[in-house]
Amino acid sequence: MSARRYRKLIIGGGIIALALAGLVLTGVRQSVVYFVTPSELRAASGGAAGKAYRVGGMVVPGSLRRDPATLRQDFLLSDGKATVPVRFRGIPPDLFAEGRGAVVEGTLGQDGTFQASTIMAKHS
């Protein structure tokens, strides 16, 4: 193999490696989900809208509202300092209840309501 062909092969391989590295980094950034408390989410509320988060806290007693027809659950999640309203559509886990710990995954809406796509009930 001539030196010229070898150089082209090395340059081409380098370009492919850089492109793959860029795709991997972009994919990792888009799939990152940050775990925060309601207080931390409220503190970041200006730039938090639309980003993926996991929010952990206690379901405030008396705040759970369920609509069996639409499977919609509205409740408040608190860490004792701040409270976040949460909306979830679906069937929650069996251990999910008022006064218990929960972790919700989703995005913060423009109106300040957390749109949960997943609820994970915490147990002792």
Number of compact structural domains in the chain = 2
Q: Are residues 101 and 83 in the same domain?
A: yes
- What's 85's domain CATH number? 2.40.50.140
Query: Tens of pLDDT along 69-88?
Result: 999 999 999 999 999 999 99
| Share of residues in the chain with pLDDT > 70 (%) | 87
Q: Are residues 53 and 95 in the same domain?
A: yes
Q: Are residues 25 and 37 in the same domain?
A: no
Q: Are residues 53 and 25 in the same domain?
A: no
Q: Report residue 57 as tokens.
A: 């806290």
What was the pLDDT predicted at 48?
66
Q: Are residues 22 and 63 in the same domain?
A: no
Whether the predicted pLDDT of 124 surpasses 60: no
Q: Are residues 27 and 52 in the same domain?
A: no
pTM of the model: 0.70
Domain of 1, in residue numbers = 1-31
